[in-house]
Amino acid sequence: MKTALVFGSTGLIGGHLISQLIKNDYYNKIKLFVRSEIVINEPKIEIIKTDFNDLENHIEDVKGDDCFFCIGTTKQNSPDKNDYQKVELDIPKKIAEIAKINSVNSFIFISSIYANPKSSGDYVKFKGLVEEELKKLNFSNLGILRPSFLMGDRKDNRAGEKIGVMIFRLLSPLLLGPLKKMRPINSEKVAKAMIKIANENLEKTIFESDEIVELTSS
């Protein structure tokens, strides 16, 4: 039986991830690292109220088998550039370093389509920089997922993203070959793929959006 460490449990992917981990027989304990207290009546779950400004205080908490990281933000929610960098770059790098110190076996990270450490855009640049750091840490099992536009019911309203999803859903039949990775993807499938990557020897590290769909279809 395994212990899952989950960062980003209240987001679109994270919500599906928790539901699936609860039902999964591989895991008998699920640690949720959250900023604010939440109540979940489920014996598998341990809630860890986390100070993300002082992660050193949580070194003893970040112990388990598989670490699932799906924390993310937007420029709208984090307009300050330093805060945005902290969420998208500094926090995932620090958590990964702690997980490695604690011999966590798997690190499964939600990145972004077109992640690139040399990009001029902060979002894909920071995702790319985190990817590079994760590779350097040499986890026994590393999974980097690069989903396209996510489909699902969000708690927050992202009008621009909704419009993007609608447009790309209409264009999906035309997105062939290398463009298949731009097709919108169901957030539930991304969560399913995270668990599958953590528990199978897949000989791959990076999964583009269309590859995530293929992975969950097999």
Give the CATH number for residue 41. Answer: 3.40.50.720
Query: For 190-209, what is each residue's pLDDT tens digit?
Result: 999 999 999 998 889 999 99
**Mean pLDDT of the region 18-44:** 92
Q: What is the pTM of this model?
A: 0.88
| Residue 158 pLDDT class (50, 70, 90 cuts) | low
- Please count the structural domains in the chain: 1
The answer to whether residue 184 scores a pLDDT higher than 60 is yes
The predicted pLDDT at position 23 comes to: 95
Measured CA to CA, the distance from residue 217 to residue 169 in angstroms comes to 19
What pLDDT is stored for residue 163 in this prediction? 62
Residues 161-189 have a mean pLDDT of 66
The residue-averaged pLDDT of 127-154 equals 91
pLDDT interval class at 39 (50, 70, 90): confident
Range of the domain at 194: 2-217
